[in-house]
Structures are given as C-alpha cells and as structure tokens.
Amino acid sequence: MIVKLRIFSPRWGHDDTYTVQLEHEFLEIKMQAKTARATWKEMADPEWSGENLTSIMRNDSIYPPAITQDLFEHAWKSWRNGDISEKDVNEELQKLAEWINTITKEKPHSSFWSKYF
C-alpha cells in the first residue's frame, strides 16, 4: 500500500510529497531520491537501511521530533499485524504529517533564529 504525505519544507517554502510504502516485508519512506527503509526481521527489530529519516527531513529544513521514525515503524507494525486497516493507517500517517507540519510552521520566526533554521 502507498500513502502520500504532504510535509511543508521551509527550505523550499512549499509542501513536499513523502511517499510511504507499506508492505508485509518492509516499510519505505521516500522523498525524491532519498529513501529510508525498514526491513522485517523475524524475532528481532526491523532493520533500517538507506538514509536516516531525520536526515532526509533536515535536508529540507524540517526538524521532526526524535521519535518520528519510531512512529512510522509503529504504524507499519500495527497495519502489518492487522491491528488497523489500510484506511486507518493512512489516516494515522496523515495525522503524523499534520503534527510534523505544525511543529515546522511554529518554529521561532525571528532574525536571530532564522540564521539557525
């Protein structure tokens, strides 16, 4: 299943589309050529490869909470285990994107902080 998330990029001043692919064997989060991928491992935590999700977002001046990658993984596992439907996982990931957008849009907007962000 594919979920498209619109996440605001302060670097570019517009929403970017993050594509989230949920499969039984993996979770993949893409932003253009950059990809973060979690592969299912029986009796172990999923193995992440590719780019770090936080690094992908920081490239667009998005500074998500440290727990963000874990939240994507939690939604994937819940869908994978049949705890939530495709419709529900889409809705929950959209809520996650809204939360990230709220944090991003509410960062400090002063000349002092504009040099940092």
User: Which residue range forms the structural domain that includes residue 33?
Assistant: 2-107
pLDDT of the chain, 117 residues: tens digit per residue: 999 999 999 999 999 999 999 999 999 999 999 999 999 999 999 999 999 999 999 999 999 999 999 999 999 999 999 999 999 999 999 999 999 999 999 989 899 988 887
Is residue 112 a part of any domain in this protein?
no
Is residue 117 a part of any domain in this protein?
no
Number of domains in the chain: 1
* Residues whose CB is less than 8 angstroms from the CB of residue 48 and which lie 6 or more positions away in sequence, other chains included: 36, 37, 38, 39, 69
Is residue 114 a part of any domain in this protein?
no
Is residue 97 a part of any domain in this protein?
yes
Q: Which burial class, exposed, middle or buried, applies to 66 when counting CB atoms under 10 A from its CB (0-12, 13-18, 19+)? A: exposed
Is residue 75 a part of any domain in this protein?
yes
Query: For position 72, which CATH number holds?
Result: 3.30.2210.10
